[in-house]
């Protein structure tokens, strides 16, 4: 076995082990957090919110927590988690905008898509353009969710004020699993979009990063071709 074969085996083994580790870590932390959410569940508020916003279906979960939270979790049947801290902070119209935003994430199963993008970029970190794609994908999903909420209410006022209120009072700590959150991603892009929904977002492709990624990808492909020859 040549040195190139060893390099290929190490690369494949490393990527596979890291992938399994990331998937296992995701499920471990997600299960732990779901158990914590159930402990803090506000049954009456959860029932009322589901009656108002989801025709009685178990879509929303309200938890008793002082920190303003609004996020969508789960891969197969995503749920929207809201905190009492959020409900006490914002008005009914603002809450409706936040829920519409999270409904977009839920209906499109964005937690799963975000996890898959993060998985690719973190396990194949040696292809740096994947990390750029991952970051831009998150921004795009947040802007699409904002656009959906604005269309539902026919105004961006309530969505914008809810976002600003949460940013003002909340020191958000990222949780150790994939989810879609209202106020912890691409804030500057979103504020610009809310102020001017017709403004076109410019994506500046990092040429140097792209070239490095193409070189690395070509090298990996050549290793596979050599191994199969």
Q: Which residues touch 75 (CB under 8 Å, ≥6 apart)?
A: 109, 111, 112, 115
Average pLDDT estimate for 161-181: 75
Quote the CA–CA distance of 84 and 69 in Å, as a whole number.
8
**Banded pLDDT at 200 (limits 50, 70, 90):** confident
Q: What is the mean pLDDT of the chain?
A: 87
* pLDDT for residue 109: 94
pLDDT attached to residue 3:
76
Give the pLDDT mean for 176-183. 68
- Does 185 score more than 70 pLDDT? no
Identify the band that residue 207 occupies on the pLDDT scale cut at 50, 70 and 90. very high
Record the pTM: 0.86
Burial class of residue 179, CB neighbours in 10 A (0-12, 13-18, 19+) = buried
What percent of the chain has a predicted confidence (pLDDT) above 70? 91
CB count in 10 Å sphere of residue 4: 12
- Mean pLDDT over 56-69 rounds to 90
Instruction: Please state the domain extents for the chain.
Output: 3-39+91-228
- Residue 176: pLDDT band (50, 70, 90) is low
């Amino acid at each position: 076995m040549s040195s190139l074969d060893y390099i290929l085996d190490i690369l494949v083994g490393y990527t596979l082990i890291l992938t399994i580790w990331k998937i296992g870590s995701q499920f471990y932390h997600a299960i732990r957090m779901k158990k914590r959410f159930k402990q803090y569940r506000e049954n009456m508020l959860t029932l009322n919110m589901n009656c108002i916003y989801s025709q009685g279906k178990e879509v929303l979960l309200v938890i008793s927590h002082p920190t303003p939270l609004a996020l969508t979790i789960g891969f197969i049947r995503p749920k929207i988690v809201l905190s009492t801290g959020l409900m006490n902070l914002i008005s009914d119209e603002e809450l409706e905008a936040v829920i519409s935003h999270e409904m977009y994430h839920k209906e499109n199963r964005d937690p799963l898509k975000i996890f898959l993008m993060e998985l690719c970029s973190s396990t194949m970190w040696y292809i740096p353009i994947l990390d750029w794609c991952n970051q831009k994908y998150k921004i795009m999903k947040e802007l699409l969710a904002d656009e959906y909420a604005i269309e539902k209410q026919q105004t961006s006022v309530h969505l914008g004020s809810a976002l600003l209120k949460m940013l003002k009072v909340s020191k958000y700590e990222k949780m150790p699993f994939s989810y879609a959150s209202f106020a912890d991603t691409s804030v500057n892009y979103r504020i610009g979009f809310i102020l001017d929904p017709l403004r076109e977002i410019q994506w500046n492709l990092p040429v140097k990063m792209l070239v490095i990624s193409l070189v690395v990808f070509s090298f990996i492909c050549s290793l596979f071709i050599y191994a199969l020859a």
